[in-house]
Amino acid sequence: MPRMRSIGLTLFIAISLTVLMVVLVLAGLFRLSLGKGFDDYVAKLELTRLDVVEQVLTERYQRHGDWRFIHSQQDLLPGPDFNRPPPPRGADAGPGRLPPRREDRLGLGPRLALFDAQGQLLMGPPEAQGRPRRPIKLEGGEQPIGYMALAPAGGGDILTRQFLASQTRNMLWSVLAAFILSALAAAWLARHFRAPIAALAQSAKQLAAGQLQTRVALERADELGQLARDFNRMAEQLQQFEQSRRQWMADTSHELRTPLTILRAHIEAMNDGVMPMDQRGLTRLQGAVGELDGLVADLYQLARADVGLYEYKPEPIVLASLFEELADRLAHPLRQAGLRLSLHVPAELAVQADPAKIQQLFGNLLSNTLRYTDTGGEIRLSASAQGASVEIILDDSAPGVPDAALPRLFERFYRVDASRSRQYGGSGLGLAICLTIVEGHGGQINAQHSPLGGLRIQIQLPRAPGATTQ
C-alpha cells in the first residue's frame, strides 16, 4: 500500500510553488520590459536634446543639397562657425589646413549616427541601427531628409544603472513578500479543506466499523458541505436498513415459530397418546404444514424481490376479463362469507402487466378482503383510465382500519391489533407482496378509508398501448 500523503500538505506545496513560479516569471518579464523600456525612454529623451545638431545638419544640407559633406563623425557636430557664410564648395579642408573644430557639449558625439531618408546608415556606430530615431526635416518640408539615432551608452550611465538596480531590489522584495503571502494563503486554504475532509474520513471509518449512528457535524455552503449532508443521509438510510433487517429477522423467526410450535405440540401429543393418530389429527398436521409452506413461499418471493430476481414479462391484460375470472373463482367463498362483489370496469380497458403477477396481486387483495370483511358486507372493484395509467380501486365494507394503521398496512408482518388480527389467519405478508408487485410494474398502491365503511385499496398501473380511455 503506497504511503499516504496529507492532502493539506499537497495543496500547500502546489499552491505555493505555483504562485512562486508565476511571480518569478512575471518579475523576469517585468525586469526585461523595464530594461528595454527604460533604455528606449532614455534614448528618446536624449534625442530631444539634439535640437542644435538638427539645426546645423539642416543648414549644411541646404548648402550642399545632399549628405555628401559628411566625411567623419566630427561633421555631425556643430562648430563655432556654423552661423558664418559657407566656404566654397570643397574648401572645408585642404592641404595644410585643419578641419574646423567641432563642439560636443552634450558628450554624444561618439554615439551619434546619421541615416538617410531611406534609413541607410551614413555615419556613426552600427550599434545605432534599430534604436529610436529622430527625423530631420527641412523648414516647411513634410518628408524627412534623414534621421538621427544614438547608440547605446557603453555599460549605461551611472543614473541608469542605479535606477535599474533599485528597481531590481524592489522586485526581489516584492517577490519575497508575494511568496510569503501566498504561503500563508496556501496554509489557510489547505487547512480550510483538510479539516472537513479529515472529519469525513474519520466518520467513514466509524461507519465502516459498524457505528451506524455516526454523523458528520459540518455546516458549509460549498461542495464539502453537500458531501457531508449526503454522507449523513447515507448513514441514516444504512441505520434504517439495519433496523429493518433486524426487525425482519425477528418477525420471520416469530412467524416461523408459530406453525412449528403447533406441529411439535400435535406430534408430541400423538406420541404421548394424548391425541389419537387418526385422520383428524393428520389433517391438523397437514394444515400446519400448509401454513408453514405458504409462509416460506411468501418469504422466498419477497427475498427474490429484494435482490432484484423478480422477473416481469408484461403484456396487455384486459381487466374486465381478469376480474370476471377472479369473481368466478371466488364465487363459492363469497357466498359462504355472505359478501356481494360488484365490478365496474370498462370492457376494453387494459393494463400492461405480467399475467401471473397481476393475478397474484388481485388474488391476494380479494383474499384479504374476504378474510376481514363482516358477513353481509359488500366488495366493489372499479377501474378507470387516468392518462397513461389505469386507476383500480378496491372498496370493502366494515370493519374499517384505524388512521394510524393505514400507512403501515404494506409493512411486512404488520397486523392491525383490533379486528384485522392473526385470528383471521394469514402471515402478514400478503399486502407486502402486493406492494412489491405494483412497484415492480412501475405503479403505486396506497390504503385509505372506504366510503363503504371498510378499507379502500387504490392502485395505479401502466395502461396498455392502444387501450380504451373510457
* Banded model confidence at residue 448, pLDDT cuts 50, 70, 90: very high
Cα–Cα dist 452/171, whole Å: 90
pLDDT one-digit tens code per residue, 50-61: 788 888 888 888
Cα–Cα dist 317/405, whole Å: 32
Mean per-residue pLDDT of the chain: 78
Q: Higher-confidence residue: 15 or 58? A: 58
**Are the CB atoms for 224 and 196 separated by under 8 Å?**
yes
CB under 8 Å to 432, separation ≥6 — which residues?
302, 410, 411, 412, 413
* Banded model confidence at residue 349, pLDDT cuts 50, 70, 90: very high
Cα–Cα dist 442/355, whole Å: 15
Q: Higher-confidence residue: 180 or 146? A: 146
pLDDT one-digit tens code per residue, 293-336: 766 776 776 776 666 666 778 899 999 999 999 899 888 889 98
Minimum mean pLDDT range among 90-99, 129-138, 154-163, 166-175: 90-99
Rounded to 5 degrees, what are φ and ψ at 134?
A: -115, 120
Domains 223-306 and 315-462 in one fold: no
Give the CA angle between residues 181, 184, 185 to the nearest 5°: 85
Percentage of the chain with pLDDT > 90?
A: 15
Q: Higher-confidence residue: 265 or 325? A: 325
The stretch 131-152 carries a mean pLDDT of 86
Residue 243 has pLDDT above 80, yes or no: no
**Total residues belonging to the chain:** 470
CB under 8 Å to 189, separation ≥6 — which residues?
11, 12, 15
* Banded model confidence at residue 261, pLDDT cuts 50, 70, 90: confident
Cα–Cα dist 333/335, whole Å: 5
Minimum mean pLDDT range among 12-16, 267-271, 380-384: 12-16
Domain ranges of the chain: 1-89+100-208, 223-306, 315-462
The stretch 146-172 carries a mean pLDDT of 73
Q: What is the pLDDT of residue 213?
A: 85
Residue 377 has pLDDT above 60, yes or no: yes
What's the Rg (C-alpha) of the chain?
A: 52
Q: What is the pLDDT of residue 318?
A: 93
Cα–Cα dist 60/57, whole Å: 5
Q: Higher-confidence residue: 437 or 34? A: 437
The stretch 233-253 carries a mean pLDDT of 77
Q: What is the pLDDT of residue 98?
A: 40
Instruction: Give this prediction's pTM.
Output: 0.49
CATH architecture of the region 223-306: Orthogonal Bundle (1.10)
- C-alpha closest to that of 443 among 357, 356, 327: 357
Which CATH number does the domain 315-462 belong to among 3.10.129.10, 3.40.50.620, 3.30.565.10, 3.30.930.10?
3.30.565.10
Cα–Cα dist 73/70, whole Å: 8
The stretch 161-165 carries a mean pLDDT of 70
* Banded model confidence at residue 456, pLDDT cuts 50, 70, 90: very high
* Banded model confidence at residue 380, pLDDT cuts 50, 70, 90: very high
Minimum mean pLDDT range among 124-133, 145-154, 239-248: 239-248
Percentage of the chain with pLDDT > 70?
A: 78
- C-alpha closest to that of 361 among 290, 461, 276, 273: 461
Cα–Cα dist 437/264, whole Å: 34
Q: What is the pLDDT of residue 188?
A: 80
Beta strands 378-386 and 453-462 are unpaired
Say how many Å lie between the first and final Cα of the chain, rounded: 67
- C-alpha closest to that of 217 among 204, 205, 206, 232: 232
Q: Higher-confidence residue: 165 or 101? A: 165
Q: What is the pLDDT of residue 343?
A: 92
* Banded model confidence at residue 342, pLDDT cuts 50, 70, 90: very high
Minimum mean pLDDT range among 62-76, 300-314, 384-398: 300-314
Question: Which cell numbers hold the place of 307?
Answer: 435482490
* Banded model confidence at residue 379, pLDDT cuts 50, 70, 90: very high
Q: How far is CA 8 from CA 3, 11, 15, 55, 308, in A?
A: 15, 5, 11, 70, 43
Q: What is the pLDDT of residue 133?
A: 87
Q: Among all chains, which residue has been given the C-alpha cell 510553488? A: 17
CB under 8 Å to 458, separation ≥6 — which residues?
391, 392, 393, 445, 446, 447, 448
Question: Dihedral sign, CA of 444, 448, 450, 454?
Answer: positive
Minimum mean pLDDT range among 10-14, 321-325, 455-459: 10-14
* Banded model confidence at residue 7, pLDDT cuts 50, 70, 90: low
Q: Higher-confidence residue: 465 or 192? A: 465
Cα–Cα dist 452/468, whole Å: 28
Q: Higher-confidence residue: 288 or 215? A: 215
* Banded model confidence at residue 396, pLDDT cuts 50, 70, 90: very high
The stretch 188-198 carries a mean pLDDT of 77
Q: What is the pLDDT of residue 8?
A: 63
Beta strands 340-344 and 378-386 are parallel
- C-alpha closest to that of 151 among 116, 121, 117, 177: 121
